[in-house]
Each structure stands twice: as structure tokens, then as C-alpha cells.
Structure 1
Amino acid sequence: MINVGLVGGTGYTGVELLRILVQHPEVNLKVVTSRGEEGKPVADMYPNLRPYTDICFSVPQLETLSECDLVFFATPHGVAMEMTPDLVANGVRIIDLGADFRIYDTDEYSKWYGIEHTCKDIMAETIYGLPEVNREQIKDARVVGNPGCYPTAVQLGYLPLIKSGVVDTQNLIADCKSGVSGAGRQAKVGTLLCEASESFSAYGASGHRHLPEIKQGLAFANQNKDVGLTFVPHLTPMIRGIHATLYAKLTDTNVDLQKLYEEFYQDEHFVDVMPFGSHPATRNVKGSNFNQISLHRPQDGDTIVVLSVIDNLVKGAAGQAVQNMNIMFGFPEHTGMTQPAMLP
């Protein structure tokens, strides 16, 4: 059993992480921090956790967090950078669910997030936490940058095509939709019920922070050659879930696409390749760590359409973080995440 700390336990990602951790048989939840809720029982804020924990929020302190084997950061960008160097020096392993350790090019990070990256030495040893790509490196990592939600759905959808070299990598289109929880728990006019309900809109069409992260992963799959990607996210009037509709032009129209995907993901517990022509829905993966993928080839032409769905709070955040923790400490990857998705 390992001692685990969580910095930033009041957001949607934080409570989703807590929901998984309090049921994890190998985890002792030692500390959950929040400066604004110091001393308040976690279960007072999240009554769904009442039967599972009596821990109280506390102010993040290096001494207390250093008693943990692993610390999760479920915080806005810029926060994890402040404490990670000292925690790593004290032998604590880190999984950051924010953006601080996702983009290897720190200048690119600064460009998109508007702050200087202060942990360039730590960044040099950080592993990007997409298990389906970096599983072996994650095992020994001291710092893992947990992928974003859109980047997870898009990369898992495109990877088999790009790695096999059967599509034009300069003309990729990712048309993605997310539930409102992806915007976080902080009150914002755009995510109020009267603003988001019964409406559908794109945002960040001219450039979104997740674009460099997605392109970084796809370039790695493309033998470190840049890809051409148009990425447009949309806000949908639902609480959770991501649906990524991905387009590419085939350069080899004779490839058995279904076989390609099934063989690529045959050993991946959390990737479910559905029958050809299926239509996965976000409700299929609600509350689970699964990614469902299906393939379409309209009119048997040279366009491949990949449908990739995840729960943005689980495989897109907290569940993937726990999957990474399991890999880092030698637990079976599905430990703590054996429940099927919630229906309806």
C-alpha cells in the first residue's frame, strides 16, 4: 500500500480522483489540500464520499506532502511547478493533471499558457503519461505529465493510422465536442445553465491550448515529423464526455482498417475497438476509464472517419492519472477502476 496526497481537491477533476482513490485497495489517502477549505471535511463538500473517507482539507505543506509516496496535482497551470522540485528532491513521485508537464518544449508552453516555465530541469526527465504510448517509461518516472482530455481522445483515435503510415499526415481534422465539466468548477458566465443549455458552439477555433500537446504526440507517432492538424473544440450541453470525430485521407486504400486497429490495441485494457461502422456514444463510457473507438469509410472512398469517445473526467483526467499511478507502482493497470460505465 502507498501513501498518496492530492493537491487541489475541490475541482471536478479532484473529486473524480478522490472517487477512484477512496476505493483503491492499494492507496492510503494521506492528505487532500485546499487553501480555501482548510479544516473542512472533504465529505461536507462532496457528500457522495461520506461513507468512504473522513479526511479534511488542509493547506499544502512541503513537510506533509513529503510523507507521501506519490502526490497528484489537480490544479491550474503554474501551481505544480512551484512544489514539484522540492517534492522530487524528497523522493516523492508526481503526477500532474494540469498542463505544466505535458509540453516538452517549454517555450511553446509559455506561448500557449502565458507564463514562464520554471522547471526546465524537471521537464527534461518528465514522461508524458499516455500509457498506450509510454508505458515502459512511465514505470520508472519520477514526474508524469497526465494528458489533457481532448489530446487523449484525439491521439488514441489517430495513432494506429499515423504509426502505420497509411494516411496523409498533413491534412488531419479533429472535430471535438466536450461536456461542460471540461471547463472546470469555477463559476463562469459561459458555463451557467442558462448560457450552455440548449445550445451548441465552437470555441478556440483559431487556436486552442491543447493543440500543441496533440501535435506533439502525433509528431512522435509520425517518426518525429510534424503533422498538419486542424483542431476545433465545441461545448455541448451535457455534464461530462468527449466525442472526437477525426478525419484523414488514406494513402493506402487497400489496408484492412478494422484489423489495423484491433491489432494495435489488442493488449490495451482500456481501449475498446468496436465493430466497423459502429457509433460509440459518450454515455457508453460515462464514469469509466475506457476509450471507445469505431471506424467509418464513407462511400468506400479515401476518407477515413474515426469516432473516439471518452469520459473527460476519467480517461481524460483522473482515471488516466490512476492508471499511470498503477503502472508506476507495479499494480495491475485496472486496479481501482473495475466498475462498468454508468447507464443511463
Structure 2
Amino acid sequence: MKKKVGITGASGYAGIELVKLLSKHPDVELGCVTSRSLAGTNVADNMPALRHLLPENFKFISSSPEEQAKMDDIDIWFLALPHGAAAEYARALVNAGKTVLDLSADFRLNSLDIYREYYGADHPAPELLQMGKYVIPELFPVSADDKLIACAGCYPTSILLPLIPLMRENAAGRKHIVIDSYSGVSGAGKKADMGYIFCERNESAKAYGLPKHRHLSEIEEELSAAAGENIVVQFNPHLAPMTRGISTTITLPAKFEGVEAVYEIWQKYYSGKPFVKILKSGSYPDTLHVCGTNRCDISAVYDPRTKNLVVCSVIDNLVKGASGQAVQIMNLICGFKETAGLL
């Protein structure tokens, strides 16, 4: 029997991607999708590209956290909501014994003070903060006992996958780390905003969110935990003229000449992992090659002039950086094949 799942906030780009992935997943049935703005309308009419996957009369509903908690036939909920709003639903669903996979930032941080600093408000569910488990599945194991999953952010996923193994193994310098990331416009969310319309973004690239983009908080927290000491990085996000994808370039001091030690560590961590592909040194990851996939491609070169290691990675921000990673985590929690619904 297939396991029933629900999506809260299914009208945004990450929500649409969740609907697409879960509608064709071999082991689950999409039982409920919610959207306050689209309640009562057919899901397929709002996502016409998915008409072949969705029942004809499958409709969005508008429901409160308490109403969703009472849906006894749905045990797993994906929250594709803005930070702040997700915590309200997580509280009700976790208290009802549901498994919650939260795509927002509400449970990614361990510190209430850091949350307040970066998100400008007190945490809406502080009693759940320590329960939330931050997960990139290749780096942090999960089990059926984990009931509140904080899915890693898109930029952090592209950064932490190549860097955490190097921090854990003390295989690269830990100071003067500079990270330049370029994101497709879908990373800003599905909204009407003059700054994101086609004529403003086409043929245009710019930095934004400097010097303290919100994702910096989870990047530094997770790198510090991996290194066992406080790690401070310079994170420079950019908006690129593409719909989806993230390209990240990381410059950090090398500990060894060449990249052999780096590649040995990556092989140790990612050999047999279906969604991390290690490219040979001198081969540069391209967002075009991961678009629509749950894959992260990584590579590295050594610069003998500066004694720096230069690491490159790419992901699809909506798949490996959001919805696909959430489905991958669900697969592992439920004991499904890790790649189910993702290939």
C-alpha cells in the first residue's frame, strides 16, 4: 500500500516541484495539497504541465494547522512555506505524530539568537528548535525516528556538500574562505516584483544580500560544527539571468599541493552516493547539466601561484536545493529506494 503524503503551500516554485515529484513517485500517493490563494481550484489547471500526472478533480484546499493535524490518513507533510509561517504548521503536525519535512529556514539553526539576528524576529516555535534535524542526506543520516526535518537551503547545499568533508578531515584551510554563488531567478520565489521581471533580469547579473545573506547563518553554523571550531566565511550571492540552477565557486587556502587528497576524501564520502558526481580536476560543473535533476556536481583545482584550492559545484536550486532533496530524505526515512521518484 502506498503511503499518503501532503504538501502545505503547494503554489510556489518549490511546491510545484514537490507536486511533480510526488505525483509520479512509485511508493507514495499525493493525498492533499494546500494553498490559501488557490483553494477550491483544480491543481492541474494551475500546473498545466502536470495534467498527465494529476487526477482531473484534484483540488487545492485551504486548511489550518489543526485541520491538517486531524487528517489521519496522511502521515507525512512537506512544508513549502515562508519562514515564520512553517513553524505554526510544524508545531501542530509534530504534536499529532506526523513526520514533517520543512523546506523553510525555521528549524535550520540551533540558536534562537542567530535566528533573530538573521530573520529579524523571535523564533515562532522555540520549543521545537532542538527537535529539528538539519539534513543534507549524503552528510547527515536520517531514520524513521526523525519527525521534524529541516531541509538544507539551496545555497548551503551547493556549498556544504563539497566543503563539509574537507572541514571534517582538516584537509583545507579554515580562514579566508570566499564563496561566490550565482542563482537562477526562481530562487527568489514566485512573486510579482519589478526587480525580477524578464526585462530587468535578462542579460543582467548582480550581487545582492551582501555582506550577510540569510543563508550565511546556516553555512557558518554547519561548517563550524564540521570543523570543531568557529568558521567565518565571505559569502557573496549573485542573481544570474537564468530560471533555475546554482553555480558556486569556493576559494580557500590549500593544505596540500595538488588536489589528490581532496579527491580521496570526496571519494570516501560520496562513493556510491547516487546524487553527488565528482568531476575530474579541470572539468568545470555546469548548471545546464544538472537542471531538472537531484544531482550535485563538484570538482576542484589547485592554484600553485596563490596556494589556494578552488572548488566548484552546481545544483538545480528547486530540486537538489529544495524539493528533490526533501523527497530523497523522505525516501530514506521511509525505507524506500533512495532514488525513488527522482530519476
Which band: TM-score by shorter chain?
over 0.9
- State the distance in 2 between where 1:291 and 1:189 align: 31
- State the distance in 1 between where 2:154 and 2:186 align: 11
* Partner residue, 1:112: 118
Q: 1:56 aligns with which of 36, 56, 59?
A: 59
- State the distance in 2 between where 1:139 and 1:229 align: 34
Deviation sequence 1:98-122 (CA, Å, 0-9, x none): 1111111122112211222122221
Listed as ranges, the matches of 1:232-311 within 5 Å are: 232-253=236-257, 256-299=261-304, 302-311=307-316
- State the distance in 2 between where 1:169 and 1:209 align: 21
Comparing 301-310 with 316-325, which one deviates more in the overlay? 301-310
Give the C-alpha shift of residue 301 in structure 1. 5.3
The alignment status of 1:2 with 2:6, answered yes or no, reads no
- State the distance in 2 between where 1:220 and 1:231 align: 18
* Partner residue, 2:180: 175
Deviation sequence 1:141-182 (CA, Å, 0-9, x none): 110011110000000121222111122212111100000000
Q: 1:131 aligns with which of 133, 137, 154?
A: 137
- State the distance in 2 between where 1:106 and 1:141 align: 21
Q: TM-score, normalised by structure 2?
A: 0.95
Contact kept, 8 Å, 2:162 with 2:266, in 1: the verdict is no
Deviation sequence 1:291-323 (CA, Å, 0-9, x none): 000111124752111111000000000000001
Query: Which structure 2 segments of 5+ residues have no match?
Result: none
* Partner residue, 2:21: 20
Contact kept, 8 Å, 1:157 with 1:246, in 2: the verdict is no
Contact kept, 8 Å, 1:13 with 1:313, in 2: the verdict is yes
Q: 1:324 aligns with which of 319, 329, 332?
A: 329
- State the distance in 2 between where 1:124 and 1:160 align: 24
Contact kept, 8 Å, 2:75 with 2:98, in 1: the verdict is yes
Q: 1:70 aligns with which of 61, 76, 89?
A: 76
Contact kept, 8 Å, 2:135 with 2:152, in 1: the verdict is yes
Matched residue of 1:57: which SS? coil
* Partner residue, 1:342: none
Q: TM-score, normalised by structure 1?
A: 0.94
- State the distance in 2 between where 1:164 and 1:267 align: 19
Contact kept, 8 Å, 2:162 with 2:298, in 1: the verdict is yes
Give the C-alpha shift of residue 139 in structure 1. 4.0
- State the distance in 2 between where 1:264 and 1:26 align: 28
Matched residue of 1:337: which SS? coil
**Identical-pair percentage:** 39
For residue 283 of structure 2, what is the amino acid of its counterpart?
S
Matched residue of 1:230: which SS? strand
Contact kept, 8 Å, 2:139 with 2:161, in 1: the verdict is no
Query: Which structure 1 segments of 5+ residues have no match?
Result: 339-344
The alignment status of 1:94 with 2:100, answered yes or no, reads yes
Matched residue of 2:88: which SS? helix
Comparing 199-208 with 306-315, which one deviates more in the overlay? 199-208
CA 1:305–1:210 in 2, change beyond 3 Å: closer, same or farther?
Answer: same
Contact kept, 8 Å, 2:175 with 2:252, in 1: the verdict is no
Q: 1:201 aligns with which of 202, 206, 209?
A: 206
- State the distance in 2 between where 1:129 and 1:57 align: 29
* Partner residue, 2:46: 45
Q: 1:159 aligns with which of 161, 164, 168?
A: 164
